[in-house]
Structure 1
Amino acid sequence: MCVEKTPWEQVIDFHGHTCPEIALGYRVAQIAMRELGIKPTPSAELKVTAQTHSCALDAFQVLNHATYGRGALIVEEQGQHNYMFEYTGTTVRVFITINPEILDHLVIPKDLSSRREVQNATLEAIQFLLSSEESMFCSIQKE
């Protein structure tokens, strides 16, 4: 019997482990698709421009099918968690900016003494990122 993996499981398999930045990317990818709300034509594809290299980008590759290899995932390194999603051939763009106070949850404290404490802190951060109020999580601008 074959069991289909959830989108979350697919992202984790692709990335190789769970971490807060994967949760951030997972959430951003879902918000972007909801906000775009359109299906591309056969000649259009989703392009993502990110302003930082991070684990979050792997979620975009899996969930949004915007890969480096096809040139659909572009990084303009500025060290900021700002993302633009757009379909080629359309004028619709969605800009998602992560609120600064959310970024504190991406870093797991280094002074934790046991592997269990690190795992617990990681799971708490992931849960926070996936369940925080959207207005607290990010700002969304649609053009």
Structure 2
Amino acid sequence: MTKWEKCVAFHGHECGGLTIGYKAAIYAEKLLNITFSEDEDVVCISENDACGVDAIQVLLGCSVGKGNLLFHMRGKQAFSFYNRKTGKSVRLVLKEKPEGMSREESFAYYQNTEPKDMFEVKETTIKLPEEARIFDSYKCECCGEMTGANWIRIAGGKKICLDCYKTYDRFQV
């Protein structure tokens, strides 16, 4: 199975969006000398949550669960890639495509365009995030569900999860 076929199998179908992420990932591999990340050596911060993110997960091993796929939601087809081993990084921003293309024409355009012609290569604007932390867990003394320490609040001397915690707000409308 080719890399492209693996991406399609994971995503569920071929589309222009998947192609954008696919081309961004293979371009980042070349620019940063990276491969599939077994741990957190490669980090991607995506500025969207669209189809292309699936290709980045498949090709580069970036995932939310490992903590090396993060989202900085800006609605842009832009991806910042970081190589923790070398300290190098790059931000790839999709260039405008020719106007007036149908969905099928757009897919063909992205499939046949070289990554260097698809993306502007820029410096990253977001600092490399720290590696993922593992938090202690506490039982919410209201609902009884285990919750990471970073998301626990103390109210009335009790540990309360964010869902059960009532925010103090004196300016209700």
The TM-score bracket by the shorter chain reads 0.7 to 0.9
User: d(CA) in 2 for partners of 1:40 and 1:9?
Assistant: 16
From 84, 98, 106, give the equivalent of 2:80. 84
1:1-143, aligned counterparts within 5 Å?
Answer: 5-38=1-34, 45-101=41-97, 108=103, 121=104, 124-141=105-122
1:141 is displaced (CA, Å) by 2.8
Which string of whole-angstrom CA distances, capped at 9 and with x for unpartnered residues, describes residues 20-44 of structure 1?
Answer: 1001111010000000025699875
Q: Between Structure 1 and Structure 2, which shows a larger proportion of strand residues? A: 2
| Structure 1 counterpart SS, 2:45 | strand
User: d(CA) in 2 for partners of 1:41 and 1:78?
Assistant: 25
Which letter does structure 1 place at the counterpart of 2:12?
Answer: G
Q: Across the two proteins, how many residue pairs are aligned to each other?
A: 124
Unaligned runs of 5+ in 1: 109-120
Q: Between Structure 1 and Structure 2, which shows a larger proportion of helix residues? A: 1
| Structure 2 counterpart SS, 1:101 | coil
Q: Is the 8 A contact 2:17 2:52 kept in 1?
A: yes
1:69 is displaced (CA, Å) by 1.3
* Identical amino acids, percent of aligned pairs: 23
Which letter does structure 2 place at the counterpart of 1:6?
Answer: T
User: d(CA) in 1 for partners of 2:62 and 2:88?
Assistant: 16
| Aligned twin of 2:168 | none
**Deviating runs (4+, > 4 A) in structure 1?**
38-44, 102-105
CA RMSD of aligned residues (A): 2.7
1:51 is displaced (CA, Å) by 0.8
Q: TM-score, normalised by structure 1?
A: 0.74
Q: Is the 8 A contact 1:40 1:87 kept in 2?
A: no
Cα distance change of structure 1 residues 135 and 27 upon mapping to structure 2, 3 Å threshold: closer
Cα distance change of structure 1 residues 51 and 104 upon mapping to structure 2, 3 Å threshold: farther
Pick 1 or 2: higher relative contact order, CA cutoff 8 A, min separation 6.
1
